Amino acid sequence: MFPNLLMMFRQTIPPVTDPRMMLGLVGAVVLLFLFFVMFVVKQYKRCPSNKILVIYGKVGVDQAAKCLHGGGKFIIPLIQDYAFLRLEPQVIEIPLEGALSLNNIRVNVPATFTVGISTDPVQMNNAAERLLHLDDGTIRDQAQDIILGQLRLVIATLSIEEINKDREKFMALINTNVAEEINKIGLTLINVNIRDITDESGYIEAIGKRAAAEAINRARVDVAQQERDGASGQAKADREREVSVAQQEAGAATGQKEAEQSRRVQVAALEAQSIEGEVESKRDYEIATAQREAETVAAKKQAEQERRVQVAAAEAEAIAGENKSNAEIAQSNARLAEIRAEAKRKAQVAAAEAQQAILVAEREQELARLSKEKLAQQEIEKARVEIAADAAAEKSRREARGEADATLARLKAEAEGTQKVLEAKAEGYRKLMEACAANPQIAPTLLMIEQLPALVSEQVKAIQNLKIDKITVWDSGGNGRGGKGGATADFLSGLIGSLPAMHELAEQAGIELPSVLGRVSKGKGEDVVVSEVPPK
């Protein structure tokens, strides 16, 4: 390669005879060569064993990125770029609580998952598309969400007994489901560690107690069986020994037979108890097995029902999405139709305006011609009539304005007079109240006296058409008693004698007299009695 470059230089550059120029040219070629070497070294990227080299940009037809595990690759500048994905495993804590099992019991399954980016070519491309330039925390959060969902799904397909007993099946389902989902984002499942399985209702603990009780019962049955076998063997040996002894000692046969009979009865009783315990244990086992099978069938039916509900919900969401898309398409078509109609209307309006402008121009031209030929005198007469009408209208407006101003001035004068009268009356009332400050009861009496003529006039009007059956008359004093007594005594007696009539008149007028004039009360026989005037 380099000899070819030198040949090209020799062909394009004329021969140089100056040694200094020759040295400069050689130095330039060496610098260019060193720059090229440094550029190649810098752009050649090597991939470590614990990383994945992701080359993106223009890497091939229908490819978003090219992934390499190991080796190296030359990065074409301006066209390609690169980044690394680390292969270090990440430990994800899954604090799963309240997951619903197949038999509708919520369980807690805390677990630890170890995941990492896969080196499989397909999964490496998935990781490059979905995890490139993401930090470890974001990748861990995405993986945790996926693992939580799949772990809940696996638990929902298993009963408590299957989760607790068949751990191998449980782990196989977790590995299958979780690995399949996290592979979609380029991760692989390295290890799963289920720490403990508990439930809030205590069902798993009850299962353990039941298993322990079953084991204890089986052990007791085995012990009883062994004791029965031992007793049987011992009884058989004793019987043979006793038979031999009975053949030799006939005298002791009766006692030995009775003892043998008693032992046989006891052994038979023990055997019966052992058999009864075995039968009960077998019956309990069969009942428990039937119950578990019934719970399994019911859980399967429940899971099938939930699956159907989820499928129906998914179909409903799909239909809703399709309807929404159709609605958006209809709205888009409607907006397009509105835009077209608006454009058409604007075009029609523009054409109409243009036609109107043409007609206006023609009208003005025709009016100008008529004005010039025929309408000049008519316009002059019209202007004269308009000027006369404007003058008459202005005269009427000014006359009406003058009348309105006069009416307004008169009303203002009347209002001011009324206001001054009311102010003067208010001032009089105020001074009257000040004068009566020592005895406030005098002020109403004075006001009543002031209005007494008006009250009498109104009373006369009220009774002028009525038939009066009683009239009360009083005078000033001593003329009714033969003129006896002094003038002062006559005046006082006359005043006191007139008080009942005054009170009656005030009562008829609906007015209450002040307390200084006394009080009137009804006595026996409806006689009027005037109480004494209270002393001052």
Domain positions in the chain are: 2-39, 45-82, 83-201, 204-351, 472-530
What pLDDT is stored for residue 114 in this prediction?
92
Continuous H helices in 77-135: 121-130
Q: Are 68 and 53 in contact (CB under 8 A)?
A: yes
- Residue 469 · residue 485 · CB < 8 Å: no
Class of domain 83-201: alpha beta
d(CA 137, CA 186): 16
Answer for the pair 505, 495: CB distance below 8 angstroms, yes or no: no
CA contacts within 13 A on the Cβ side of 57: 10
φ/ψ of 429, rounded to 5, equals -65, -40
- The DSSP symbol for 102 reads T
Buried b (16+ CB within 10 A) or exposed e, 216-244: ebeeebeebeeebeebeeebeeeeeebee
The pLDDT value recorded for residue 106 is 86
pTM of the model: 0.36
Buried b (16+ CB within 10 A) or exposed e, 54-89: bbbeebeeeeebbbbbeeebebeeeebebeebebee
Classify the C-alpha dihedral 133-138-144-149 as positive or negative.
Answer: negative
Number of neighbouring beta carbons within 10 Å of residue 507: 12
For residue 117, the SS3 value is: strand
| CB within 8 Å of 110: residues ≥ 6 apart | 93, 94, 95, 96, 97, 194, 195, 196
* Contact by Cβ (8 Å): 131, 185: yes
Task: Find the DSSP H helices in 249-375.
Answer: 253-373
Take residue 424 and report the two structure tokens written for it: 């003067």
Query: Which residue type, as a one-letter code, is found at position 90?
Result: Q
Which positions of the chain have pLDDT values less than 50? 1-2, 5, 476-477, 480, 524-536
| Structural contact between residues 94 and 148, judged by C-beta atoms closer than 8 angstroms | yes
144, two tokens? 């945790």
